[in-house]
């Protein structure tokens, strides 16, 4: 099973782009606080690369910005590639399947919860690859 659930803060503004085939996608980074404190008593953060496709991408780009609290559900995608210097590299990202607003207070949460489930199942289950070689940065 490959399942990821993250709750955190957007580290940067989401970046909405379109493939040559006209499919919207959005890259963003979620900063998640670590549970364990370091020797100085501070909690670090993990910065996790995420990508959303189609109407989820458009939703995230429209409603979220740097500093927004966000919850995402998805799966990990592993990409192996050769860098320009010839070294083999691996990168990981979360492919977003669901997204939700999150707020610290219950009043805000009650007013701001929205779940994106309106993607046509055919979009998710189609044999057409959602990855476009022209958008891979390596």
Domain extents in the chain: 4-125
Q: Could you tell me the pTM of the whole model?
A: 0.70
Q: Is 40 helix (H, G, I), strand (E, B) or coil?
A: coil
Answer yes or no: is pLDDT of 122 > 60: no
Class of domain 4-125 (CATH, top level): mainly beta
| b/e sequence 96-117, b meaning 16+ C-beta within 10 Å | bbebbbbeeeeeeeeeeeeebe
Each residue of 22-63: pLDDT tens digit? Answer: 999 999 999 999 888 888 888 889 999 999 999 999 999 999
Q: What is the mean pLDDT of residues 8-24?
A: 95
């Amino acid at each position: 099973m490959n399942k990821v659930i993250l709750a955190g803060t957007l580290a940067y503004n989401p970046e909405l782009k379109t493939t040559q085939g006209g499919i919207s996608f959005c890259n963003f980074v979620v900063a998640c606080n670590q549970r364990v404190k370091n020797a100085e008593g501070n909690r670090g953060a993990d910065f996790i690369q995420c990508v959303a496709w189609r109407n989820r991408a458009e939703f995230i780009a429209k409603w979220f910005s740097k500093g927004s609290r966000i919850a995402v559900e998805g799966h990990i995608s592993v990409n192996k590639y050769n860098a320009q210097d010839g070294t083999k590299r691996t990168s990981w990202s979360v492919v977003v399947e669901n997204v939700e607003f999150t707020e610290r207070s219950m009043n805000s949460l009650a007013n701001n919860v929205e779940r994106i489930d309106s993607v046509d199942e055919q979009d998710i289950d189609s044999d057409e690859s959602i990855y476009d070689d022209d958008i891979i940065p390596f």
